[in-house]
Structure 1
Amino acid sequence: MWKWEADGQAKAVVAILHGAYENHRWYAWLIEKLRLEGFHIVMGDLPNHGVNARFSRVHDEDFKEYNKYTRHLMENAFSYNLPVFLIGHGLGATLLLHTMHKKKYESAGIILTSPWLQLKLLPGKLSNALTSLSALTANVKITHEITFEKLTRSVEGREEMKDEIPFMSVVSVKWYRELQQMMRNLVLLPKAEFPNMPMLVMTAEKDSITETKQTRNWLHQQEFTEFQFKEWANCYHNLFHEIEREEIFVYIRDFINNALRRIGYIIE
C-alpha cells in the first residue's frame, strides 16, 4: 500500500482501486492531480497485479483475496480521520461496490468509472460454455483480449500504460466464474441494501469492454438521494487515460468539493 500526501492541510482522503490487469503506476497522472488539489491518496496493487504479476502467467487468485485487499485499502484511508472518497475503475469499481454493500463504510462519496457489472468483451471464445462445465475445468486458461487500443484512443495514454510490468490478461475459468458471480449478485441486489451516499458514475460512449446500459440501469434502480451519471462521448474504457481526461478530472474534483461543502467544509 502506498500513500501520497498533499502539501499542507489536506481536505480529504481519496482511495483508488484500479481495474483488472492494471497496476497503480497507471494512475500516476490522477494521483498527482488529486494531490495538488489538496487530497491525500491511498492506493496499492490488487493481489497478483503489479510487481507480483511478474511471477505469474495467469490470474487465478481467489476473489476473497481481492475483498480482503479492498477492506485493507479502505481502512488505511479512514485512518487519517478525514472525509474519505472512493474511486473504483473497471473491476476495481465492482470490488468497491461489493465491499461497500458488505461493510457499509461511512464514505463521503463514491466515484465509479466504467464499472464491470456486465461484460461486452468476454474472455475466450468459449468462455460461456467453459464456465458451465464441472469443477474439473476450473484451471483451464482463457485469454481476455483486452489491448491498449481498446482501453484508450489517446497515444499518450497508451504510452503511460507501458512499463516493465507485463500486461497479463490470461485468466482461469475459476477466476471468471467468480467475476461473473460477483457481477450478477450486484445487479440483482435489492436496492434498499446498498448504503445511501453521494455517487458519481461515469461511463464511456465507445466502451468495447463493458455494457454501459447495464451500468446506467443499475444506478437508476438504486435509491440514492444524491447521484450523478455522465457518459463521455467518443471515449473508450479507461477514462483517466483518454484525450478528455482534464475535463473528466474537473468533473470529479467538483463532485468531491461539492460533497465536502454539504458536510460543512469550507472549500476555497
Structure 2
Amino acid sequence: MWKWEADGQAKAVIAILHGAYENHRWYAWLIEKLRMEGFHIVMGDLPNHGVNTGFGRVHDEDFKLYNKYTRNLIENAFSYNLPTFLIGHGLGATLILHTMYKKQYECAGLILTSPWLQLKLLPGKLTNALTSLSTLTANIKMTHPITIEQLTRHVEGREEMKDERPFVSVVTVKWYRELQQMMRNLVFMPKEEFPNVPILMMTAAKDSITETRQTRNWLHQQAFTEFQFKEWENCYHNLFHEVERDEIFMYTRDFLNNGLRRIGYIIE
C-alpha cells in the first residue's frame, strides 16, 4: 500500500482500486492530477498483480483475498480522518460495489469507471462449458483475450501501461467462476440494501470488454438520491488513459468538489 500526499493542505483522501491484470503504476497520471488538486491518495496492487505477482503469472487467486485487500485499502484511507472518496476501475469498481454492499462504509462518494457487471469479451472459447462442469476443471487455464489496444486508443496512454511487468490476462476456470458469481450477486442484489452514497458512474461508448447497457441499467435500478451517469463517446475501456482524459478528469474533479461542498467544505 502506498500513499501520495496532497501538494499543500489536503481537503479529502481518495482510495483508488485498479482493474484486472493492471497495477498501480498505470495510474501515475491520475494520482498526480488528484494530488495537485488537494487530495491525498492511497493505492496499492491487488493480490497477484503488480509487485504482488506470483511466480506462475496466472490469475487463480481467491476472491476473498480481493475483498480483504479492498477493505484494507478503504480503512487505510479512513486513517487520515478526512472525507473519503473511492475510485474504482473495471474489476476494481466491481470490488468497491461488492465491499460497499457488504460493509456499508460511510464514504463521501464513489467514482466508478467501466465496472465489470457483465462482460462482453469472455475468457476462452470453452468458458461456458468449462464453468458448468465439476470442480475437476477448476485449475484449467484460459486466456482472457484483452489487449492494450482494446483498453485505449491513446498512444500516450498505451505507453503508460508498459512496464517491467508484462500485461498477462491468463486466468483459471475457478477465478472466472468467482468473478461470474460476484457480478451476478451485484446485478440481482436488493436495491434497498446498497448504501445511499453519491455516485458517479462513467462508461465508454466503444468499450469492447464490458456491456455498458448493464452498467446503466444497474445504476438506474438503485435507490440513490444522488447519482450521475456519463458515457464518453468514442472512448475505449480505460477512460483515464484515453485521448479525452483531461476532460474526464475535470468532470471527476467537479464531482469530488461538489461532494465536499455538500458536506460543508468551502471549495475555492
TM-score range, shorter chain: over 0.9
Shift of 1:165: 0.9
- Look up the match of 1:86: 86
Shift of 1:253: 0.2
Q: What is the rounded CA distance, in whole Å, between the counterparts of 1:57 and 1:263 in structure 2?
A: 44
Letter in 1 for 2:213: K
Shift of 1:54: 5.8
- Look up the match of 1:200: 200
User: Is the Cα–Cα contact under 8 Å of residues 46 and 52 in structure 2 kept in the other structure?
Assistant: no
SS in structure 1 at match of 2:53: helix
SS in structure 2 at match of 1:252: helix
Shift of 1:61: 0.2
**Does residue 214 of structure 2 align to residue 214 of structure 1?**
yes
Letter in 2 for 1:264: G
Letter in 1 for 2:188: L
**Does residue 159 of structure 2 align to residue 159 of structure 1?**
yes
Give the number of equivalent residue pairs: 268
Shift of 1:57: 2.2
Q: What is the rounded CA distance, in whole Å, between the counterparts of 1:114 and 1:262 in structure 2?
A: 26
SS in structure 2 at match of 1:202: strand
Letter in 2 for 1:253: R
- Look up the match of 1:57: 57
Where in structure 2 are the equivalents of 1:9-88 lying within 5 Å?
9-53=9-53, 55-88=55-88
SS in structure 1 at match of 2:3: strand
Unaligned runs of 5+ in 1: none
User: Is the Cα–Cα contact under 8 Å of residues 88 and 94 in structure 1 kept in the other structure?
Assistant: yes
Unaligned runs of 5+ in 2: none
SS in structure 1 at match of 2:197: coil
Letter in 1 for 2:143: T
User: Is the Cα–Cα contact under 8 Å of residues 54 and 166 in structure 1 kept in the other structure?
Assistant: no
Q: What is the rounded CA distance, in whole Å, between the counterparts of 1:126 and 1:153 in structure 2?
A: 29
- Look up the match of 2:129: 129
Letter in 1 for 2:125: K
**Identity over aligned residues, as a percent?**
85
SS in structure 1 at match of 2:125: coil
User: Is the Cα–Cα contact under 8 Å of residues 53 and 168 in structure 1 kept in the other structure?
Assistant: no
Shift of 1:9: 1.2
- Look up the match of 2:244: 244
SS in structure 2 at match of 1:55: coil
Shift of 1:30: 0.1
SS in structure 2 at match of 1:111: strand
SS in structure 2 at match of 1:243: coil
Q: What is the rounded CA distance, in whole Å, between the counterparts of 1:54 and 1:245 in structure 2?
A: 32
- Look up the match of 1:179: 179
User: Is the Cα–Cα contact under 8 Å of residues 142 and 171 in structure 1 kept in the other structure?
Assistant: yes
Q: What is the rounded CA distance, in whole Å, between the counterparts of 2:92 and 2:120 in structure 1?
A: 17
Shift of 1:53: 1.9
Q: What is the rounded CA distance, in whole Å, between the counterparts of 1:195 and 1:20 in structure 2?
A: 25
Q: What is the rounded CA distance, in whole Å, between the counterparts of 1:57 and 1:118 in structure 2?
A: 24
User: Is the Cα–Cα contact under 8 Å of residues 93 and 116 in structure 1 kept in the other structure?
Assistant: yes
Deviation track 1:236-258 (CA, whole Å, cap 9, x = no partner) reads 00001000000000000000000
SS in structure 1 at match of 2:229: strand
**Does residue 190 of structure 2 align to residue 190 of structure 1?**
yes
Q: What is the rounded CA distance, in whole Å, between the counterparts of 1:145 and 1:128 in structure 2?
A: 15
Shift of 1:8: 2.1
Moved over 4 A (4+): none
User: Is the Cα–Cα contact under 8 Å of residues 53 and 166 in structure 1 kept in the other structure?
Assistant: no
SS in structure 2 at match of 1:231: strand
Where in structure 2 are the equivalents of 1:77-116 lying within 5 Å?
77-116=77-116
- Look up the match of 2:260: 260
Letter in 1 for 2:31: I
Letter in 1 for 2:149: E
Q: What is the rounded CA distance, in whole Å, between the counterparts of 2:165 and 2:130 in structure 1?
A: 29
